Structure 1
């Protein structure tokens, strides 16, 4: 998610977020100068939140996804500690699993990407088994949102984090647009429950959509049904 544009209609945020962002600390890991990386503890917090909100997606096994920016670049991922490192397996779409207890026993361990900072992003992935590839449960998306909030809030500029909190939190306010990426470009995305439907806004690049996870008039069993662009472009 682009945090500087997530608040709908909030020009003040988008014009001040850069000034509020602290300079990134430069690191050199696995052959890349200042690679994209995130602390293992961020993922631990996300998994703990998934346990807390288990009722949102009781059949799902929460994991994560690594996205390249721009899409399509092949990436690798490693868990890196002070004295050891190990590869993390990615499926062809960038999905991976983690345990709350890292194989490398180091509280300061990082997940490090084979790409420079800003060229990749981590996202939670919650998928109830048995659904078609073109269908998502709203409860799964709500859990993803809760996981994303605890993963990223400490990395947000103070002003954006505080504004989100004043709005009721990332996942609980209609003033915040929460987007969800998909592997393919989309022609459309529609929220469906019984005889009720709602066409959802797509991201500018059509590789995701904005879902009303805050709106309790839609149950966790509501479905987002999307139609991909047939030729992928």
Structure 2
């Protein structure tokens, strides 16, 4: 059950501005986003000393195209355009007048058609990898800035303490979602000689029920979504996350069943499965933990995993195993 994924961003009433918009524009509090930038400045030295901060837009609804999106900060008497980079990221200048007017950041798109994230990047991180300290800082900034978009009525009951950056970003149940650039098959943590793959429950937004997807920032990015162990300080900030993508050639490994039917015949029904809009499907098989094996640092039992990835035609594309 997701406890804190669907966190509510504060919304402010705004006047009409010269941005073409629909009946319900996406808006963010300018003050809160600046507070997120201030949080970045306070935490940067500890978590990501050389990093830079940008904000980024991501699609949330099926068929949502980000090309043509325009952003503007609008107050009572003044406004300011925000140029978007080709990757749909932007920086947020500070304007004292807009701060005093409690301005809003508006887009010419409908509410819930996009999701917003902070993006913290340190130099020197190899291509295709992420640094854990950067992700920790992204979470703090994103929560401080009120970027996570959800249904206001459904999640209005959430206590403010449960939505605090420190609670969300330092708790195993915090469940702050990150998004890779491509569909993920596995993620490996590495620091020095220590390596560990993330469990299946850390991928694909924890395998949510289909009925809950409309309330998730991951609605159209489910294959690309993951949780990072922000709370686990046994992994230092310089830990790197490396990604194996669904569309990469599989590494040399042991034989796997050729298709879904063969997998079911060999192993029985999966303990969990998830079918994506792309037609790809993942199956998870658990193996029992060794007797006396202590739970993991998140309190979950340590169980082995066998994960299979199938293409839209049912053929097996990849297989991987994770030890308890």
TM-score for both structures, normalised by structure 2: 0.59
Offset at residue 190 of structure 1 (A): 1.7
Query: Counterparts of 2:33 and 2:106 in 1: how far apart (Å)?
Result: 13
Give structure 1 stretches of 5+ with no counterpart: 9-13
1:230 to 241, 244, 247: 247
Offset at residue 134 of structure 1 (A): 1.0
Q: Which of these two proteins has the greater Rg computed from alpha carbons? A: 2
CA-to-partner distance for each residue in 1:93-118, whole Å, 9 max, x for gaps? 22111233468565322111121011
Query: Counterparts of 1:83 and 1:161 in 2: how far apart (Å)?
Result: 34
Offset at residue 67 of structure 1 (A): 1.5
Give structure 2 stretches of 5+ with no counterpart: 206-221, 249-277, 279-324
For the residue of structure 2 that corresponds to 1:159, the secondary structure is: coil
The equivalent of 1:188 in structure 2 is 186
Offset at residue 219 of structure 1 (A): 0.3
The equivalent of 1:86 in structure 2 is 80
1:128 to 122, 131, 138: 122
- Preserved contact between residue 188 and residue 228 of structure 1 (Cα < 8 Å): yes
Higher relative contact order (CA 8 A, sep 6+): 1
The equivalent of 2:306 in structure 1 is none
Q: Is the counterpart of residue 5 in structure 1 residue 2 in structure 2?
A: yes
TM-score for both structures, normalised by structure 1: 0.79
Deviation larger for 151-160 or 85-94 = 151-160
Query: Counterparts of 1:112 and 1:78 in 2: how far apart (Å)?
Result: 5
Query: Counterparts of 1:21 and 1:218 in 2: how far apart (Å)?
Result: 29
Distance 1:150 1:105, change over 3 A: closer
Distance 1:103 1:225, change over 3 A: farther
Query: Counterparts of 1:195 and 1:210 in 2: how far apart (Å)?
Result: 22
The equivalent of 1:11 in structure 2 is none
Q: Is the counterpart of residue 117 in structure 1 residue 108 in structure 2?
A: no
- Matched pairs, number: 220
